[in-house]
Structure 1
Amino acid sequence: MIGCETETEKRLEHTTWSHYGGSPDQSKFFESPSITKSNVSEMQMLWSYPSGDDRFYFFSPIIVDSTMYVLGKNSSLIAIHARTGEELWIHTDLPGITRRGINYWESEDKKDKRLLFTLNNSIQAINADTGKSILDFGTEGYVDLREGLDRDPTSVTRIQSMMPGVIYDDLLILGSAPGEAYFSPPGHIRAYNVVTGTLEWTFHTIPHPGEYGYDTWPKDAYKYVGGANVWSEISVDSERGIAYLPIGSPTYDYYGADRLGSNLFANSLVAVNARTGERIWHYQTVHHDLWDYDLSPAPQLLTVDKDGKKVDAVAIATKHGFVFVFDRVTGESLFPIEEKPFPKSQMPGEESWPTQPITSLPSFTRHEVTKENLNPFFSDSLRHDWLQRLDSAKTGLYVPPSDQYETIMMPGALGGANYGNTAADPENGIMYIQTQEYASTYRLSKVEPINKELTLNDVDKVKSLYSSSCISCHGPNMEGGAGPSLKNIGHHMFYSEFRNTVINGKGVMPGLVHVDEASLKALFQFLGVIQNAGILDAAMRR
């Protein structure tokens, strides 16, 4: 059944900011009769609250009734009276909490009010009135996000999304950020009961046997391919009970010989029943992605005029500069889309998809880097270098990466419409897009396997490094503690990614800039060599 809402109800939805993005539709639209064009210049600061940590400038506060919830010093959640700035409570020491925001939920009688958030691969809940942890949520206050992914949970080192997810009724619908390396876990979308923490439904973004889209992958891909995740904003039509999922790229980003096919539901806008997770319709914006063109901005729900009729639509902007607009209920495209041919990959084992969908709506960014459109403020030497690179490189929309030449993509993986780059005035049918003309350069190269033989000298290096720098967070047996488990991490991470994490840090983990290369390689080798566990245990006991 399709429900309808009154104009008054629609307007009220955008007069508060109790969800990330303002409301479940992620429109970032706020309407206030007391703030107008004529008086906005007269606004004055009434109070301020020192957060104490500039790292949280990107955290999105929410306001419920007269209480604002923010993130502050020492990874603390803080409740503040929105009219006075008075601190109501503070829940300290939450290192690893979702960086972008949190969720608020209340029961119909308003007796149960909760803040829900992810922290170090878990979901947790605290009482919104008192700031105290709710220990009957999940198992002793935790829901382990590594469970339920059809992979060994100990092999999942990263699944927590940087985004808070979205609340629909008594469900928390949640995406993930599993990483982009070979053997990263899958990005299945999951919904959890906000009271019990029970997993209520799962939408397999990499379909299992018998499911729609399974035949767009190799037959065993669901066992080993990762990614195809929603790492950004999920939008919900609350009245109709439809969640719109902007799904990202599958692993590995730039070479897909192990995932031949169009790869549903990667790079797809998928409408699902928000109560059950059942697919209603989908549209794939990139087939067999080789460019990391995942869908990252929020799908925008707006009402548009089409052929003299008002149509409730959903619009998605892409990294590669296009806007696709669909009927919100049926998934029918409101503007023509044509499958056009593009260059074939020359990489051994790779089979790029022969066509890609191009909408009739104009692109909002350029698609190639030329000598004419180089930055006019380049120095003479930098311009000369780029002119030489362009002579040998290939550039243009959907040029497949290669090991024979450099590929310059415009926009690149960080360009176009990315995370947080869309908003809407829903009732007036206006979509706002912030675009970034940010190119990426690619050249593939073969990664040689690391030598798996460890000498006693290697083991001594591992013992010294681990004991001095790692044991306090990752535990004496590498099984985790304050930090995640490191068991078998060498099986699903490239050395370059491992090295970058250790040297530069990640999340609450500081960078270990003092580590020498030999010790770092020895540790990485060990983490991928199960048969040497006894050697390390013996070394640790010495």
Structure 2
Amino acid sequence: MNICSERRVTQLLAKTSGRGLFSALVMLTFIGGLSATAMAQSVAEASHIDAPHAQWKDYGGAPDGAQYSSLRQINRANVSQLQKVWSFSTGDSRGYLFNPLIVDRTMYVLAKNNSVVALDAVSGKELWAHSFHAKTPLITTRGLNYWESEDRKDRRLILAVDNFLQELDARTGKPITDFGENGLVDLREGLGRDPKSLTLVQSYNPGRVFHDLIILGSVMNEEYQSGPGDVRAYNIRSGKLTWSFHTIPHPGEVGYDTWPKDAWKTVGGANAWSGMAIDEKRGVLYVPTASPKYNFYGADRTGANLFGDCLLALNASTGKLLWYYQMVHHDIWDYDNPSTPLLATVRHNGKLVDVVAQPSKVGFLWVFDRDTGKPLWPVEERPVPKSDMPGEVTWPTQPFPSKPPAFARQAFTEKDLSPYLEPQERAELQRELRGAKNHGLFTPPSTQDTVEMPGNNGGANFGGAAVDPSHGLLYIVSKDLPSMLKLTLAPEMPTTGSGETRGRSVYANNCSACHGSDLLGRPPAIPSLKNVQERLSDEEFHETVKFGKPPMPAFSQLSNAEVDALLAYLKHPEKAATSNEQAKAAPIDPAKAHYRSGFGFMFASSGLPVIAPPWTSLTAYDLNSGTIRWKIPLGEVPELAAQGHANTGSHFPKTNPVVTAGGVIFTGTRDRMVRAIDSNTGKVLWQAQMDAALEGMPAVYQIDGREYVAFCAAARSTTYTHAVPGHAASQEPIHGAYVVFALPDAEKAH
């Protein structure tokens, strides 16, 4: 029986079940001469086609976001034979980190200036494209949501664009105009704030579909009086709001007493900007939340600040709180829960227990009973240092889990400095570290340099973990990136004077902590702003400031007038006011004074971290025992590897692994490599070089009995070792593409 016949058999078997499956096998054996071996193979394949993790119709593969595939045709024995079968150019120089969706024979991607594009998932041929008719649309960049009615006559793609939720017909790409008002739902509405003040609400992560609901988290600016982080569910057919959970509690709600009175009216954050997970059987939504705002100073929000930095278990149908656990009390470090919660079943104390695991920025992996929220292993509340900042009341203790061991380094001193530093730079950093406050994970930021490790952009990050749900094996990509925080009192912007003068105050309040008082930054990670007008048009500058460009956050709280003033200053800093003119600026009102710090990422002049490598690691956990099985550096820096310096790990990753039942972990990194790693040992089994760097998550899917792996190779890769302090690093243009691999033919899987 040839392979084409076997594929037709599998398709027929996939449509049958129970007695129908047996009857189909008998019929096929009689008519087609199906051999016993081929029959067994086809039964095995058909039996898992409809399994929860056998398709890729959701972000992360399934509603639980496990980043796991139950397909096993590609496995550790044959993965080295993978070949590229097709690729599709993104059609522009924009960076993408999109996780493709595959429904039936169609793949949905983001390309062509953030258009949604439908492709034939077998050949890569374009089927249709939907543009959002904007030069630079703000779009959900990491993935899409898909929903279909029970009879499959109604099929929709759901996403957010420019703070509006909208839907497309999944078969044609045409907008669903009877959704919301003329096809749009304004996500700025219903948050208890003036919608005009909320310039950024939508998350870059897609939400979760549960029955006829689309459940969304949010993102907002990183400033004082940001928008609240409500978790909301909308009806997919009508667009009407069905339920809302207040992560900053309103009067009478659980947690209201952990804030100052009426803080919900002014304080923002505690939002769910990363992935959420749904246990469909239980009907429970697991939500990781971020820090309250402002990130590094909380005098206006004394208390533990529920539900910031929590894992929430909510009834997915109603939004009712079932349980919560707070990992950081009164966060003043930006220690978000940045990754999708992972659901698994483990053997604990001789019993099978359904658990939910939550990776964190600080390097801890938290594991809870899925039903009760009780930690699987003891947690100790330990005393932590007090703050010396005026008005700041730090929480006296913080929780430390006894197991599993941390996956990231949690301290940074002189002995940890990178061997790749120039001698003068090393001496300068040694002096800086000796004069800094450095008392562990929870050292409060102050007006003195304060070390933060693994850093507010370290540890785990969005989508950086995957789990084998039935075996309790979990894999985390993490980075070690120390930060140096320093709070300064931000002056009020002058109400008079030139645009350059006012722009200098905007710069001092919002930009100088990262880019420096001299505008030079730390290229290439933090670019120089000298002559920025030569690299960005005025429109592009506005877009970058208002919406961010990682690692730079969005400064959406700035008005257009303030951004105009900032640009005027950057174009002509020499025209800013003299000290005499500055004296005419409005005096600081102590009641409105705000302390601010930059994120303080500690990069060397080369653009690489100042800490010794590995900078990126992949850690494998056995959740049955709470132990680490293995740990490896993930990726490399090509310029260093060419000099013989291996095992450094990639730099500044946004890498999302996918693990399969075939015993393989697929991932891509910023060194332009895609890799297949043995999930048992951490050994690299296969790798291939792409034309562009990789961020985001691959997708694993099967059509006509053949398994495919799709990567989005469309991120920016920076040349590090040639970066010159005070100048922008050289950056090659992005030649982005979606690249799909498979075995030479499906027979080699058997």
TM range, smaller chain = 0.7 to 0.9
In the alignment, which residue of structure 2 is the partner of 1:493?
Answer: 557
Alignment of 1:151-300 (within 5 A): 151-300=193-342
Q: Which residue of 1 aligns with 2:484?
A: 441
Q: TM-score, normalised to structure 1's length?
A: 0.84
Matches for 1:21-420 after TM superposition, within 5 Å: 21-93=60-132, 95-361=137-403, 362-395=405-438, 396-403=440-447, 405-420=448-463
Q: Structure 1 residues 253 and 399, CA, compared in 2 at 3 Å: closer, same or farther?
A: same
1:430 equivalenced with 2:473 (yes/no): yes
Cα deviation for residue 373 of structure 1 reads 1.5
* C-alpha deviation, 1:456, in angstroms: 11
* 1:369 Cα deviation from its structure 2 partner: 1.1
Cα distance in 2 for residues equivalent to 1:308 and 1:19: 33
**Distance of 2:408 and 2:114 partners within structure 1:** 38
* Matched-pair contact (CA < 8 Å) for 2:361–2:459: yes
Change beyond 3 A, Cα 1:514–1:442: closer
User: Shift in Å at residue 51 of structure 1?
Assistant: 1.8
Return the offset for 1:317. Answer: 1.0
Instruction: Find the aligned partners of 1:450 and 1:496 in 2 and give their Cα distance.
Output: 14
Q: Which residue type is aligned with residue 466 of structure 2?
A: A
Q: Distance in 1 between matches of 2:93 and 2:419?
A: 34
Distance 1:502 1:117 in 2: 32
Cα-Cα RMSD: 3.0
Cα distance between partner residues in 2 of 1:313 and 1:514? 51
AA of the residue aligned to 2:54? T
Q: 1:518 to 1:206 in 2, by over 3 A?
A: farther
Distance, in Å, in 2 between the alignment partners of 1:206 and 1:173 is 18
Unpaired runs of 5+ residues, structure 2, are 1-46, 503-532, 548-554, 578-584, 586-750
Q: Distance in 2 between matches of 1:214 and 1:226?
A: 14
State whether residues 268 and 286 of structure 1, in contact with CA within 8 Å, keep that contact through their aligned partners in structure 2. yes
The whole-number CA distance in structure 2 between the counterparts of 1:60 and 1:517 is 42
Distance 2:563 2:575 in 1: 11
Is the CA contact (8 Å cut-off) linking 2:197 and 2:557 kept in structure 1?
no
TM-score, scaled relative to structure 2: 0.61
- What is the SS of the residue equivalent to 2:234? strand
8 Å contact kept, 1:303–1:313: yes
Deviation at 1:363, TM superposition (A): 1.6
- Following the alignment from structure 1 to structure 2, what is the Cα–Cα distance between the partners of residues 126 and 161? 18
Report the structure number with the largest CA radius of gyration. 2
How far is 1:74 from its partner?
2.4
Q: 1:497, CA displacement in angstroms?
A: 13
Q: Is the 8 A contact 1:181 1:494 kept in 2?
A: no
CA contact (8 A) 2:199 2:556 kept: no
Offset at residue 186 of structure 1 (A): 0.5
- CA distances 1:97-154 after superposition (whole Å, capped 9, x unpaired): 2111111000000000000000001101010001101111100010000000000111
Q: Alpha carbons of 1:88 and 1:412: their partners in 2 closer, same or farther (altered >3 Å)?
A: same
1:96 and 1:518 map into 2 onto residues whose CA distance is 34
Q: In 1, Cα distance between the equivalents of 2:563 and 2:442? A: 31
Task: Judge conservation of contact 1:16–1:63 (CA < 8 Å) in 2.
Answer: yes
**How far apart are 1:160 and its partner, in Å?**
1.3
Deviation at 1:458, TM superposition (A): 9.7
Q: Distance in 2 between matches of 1:415 and 1:363?
A: 13
Distance of aligned partners of 1:54 and 1:35 in 2 relative to their CA distance in 1, 3 Å threshold: farther
Segments ≥4 residues shifted beyond 3 Å? 8-11, 453-459, 468-471, 491-503, 512-521
Aligned letter for 2:462?
Answer: Y
C-alpha separation in 1, matches of 2:391 and 2:49 = 51
Deviations 1:253-290 (A, max 9, x none): 00000000000000000000001000000000000001
Distance 1:499 1:382, change over 3 A: farther
The code of the aligned residue for 2:242 comes to E
Structure 1 residues 148 and 519: alpha-carbon distance in aligned structure 2, compared to 1, 3 A threshold? farther
How far 1:46 sits from its partner (Å)? 2.3
Amino acid at match of 2:318: T
Percent of paired sites with the same residue: 47
| C-alpha distance in 2 between matches for 1:168 and 1:500 | 43
CA separation of 1:455 and 1:254: change in aligned 2, threshold 3 A: closer
Measured in 2, the distance between the counterparts of 1:32 and 1:289 equals 41
Cα deviations by residue, 1:146-200 (Å, 9 ceiling, x for unpaired)? 0000001111111111111111111111011111101111111101111111111
For 1:513 and 1:447, how far apart are their aligned partners in 2?
17
Name the stretch that deviates more: 389-398 or 100-109. Answer: 389-398
Q: Which runs of 5+ in 1 are unaligned?
A: 1-7, 460-464, 475-481, 484-490, 504-511, 526-542
Deviation at 1:47, TM superposition (A): 2.2
Tell me how far 1:54 sits from its aligned partner.
Answer: 4.6
8 Å contact from structure 1 (residues 186, 227) kept in 2: yes
Per mean C-alpha deviation after superposition, the further-off stretch among 9-18 and 327-336 is: 9-18
Query: What letter is aligned with 1:364?
Result: F
Q: What secondary structure sits across from 1:211 in the alignment?
A: coil
Relative distance call for 1:371 and 1:39 in structure 2 (3 A) is same
Mark the CA change 1:10 to 1:171 in structure 2 (over 3 Å): closer, same or farther.
farther
Return the offset for 1:333: 1.1
For the 8 Å contact 2:345–2:469, the answer to whether it is kept is yes
- Asked if the contact 1:121–1:144 (Cα under 8 Å) also holds between the matched residues in 2, the reply is yes
Shift of 1:10: 11
Please give the alpha-carbon distance, in whole angstroms, between the structure 2 residues aligned to 1:502 and 1:121. 25
Distance 2:500 2:367 in 1: 60
Q: Structure 1 counterpart of 2:127, which letter? A: L
Aligned residues: 484
Q: Is the CA contact (8 Å cut-off) linking 1:56 and 1:99 kept in structure 2?
A: no
Letter in 1 for 2:323: W
Do the aligned partners of 1:499 and 1:520 also contact (CA within 8 Å) in 2? no
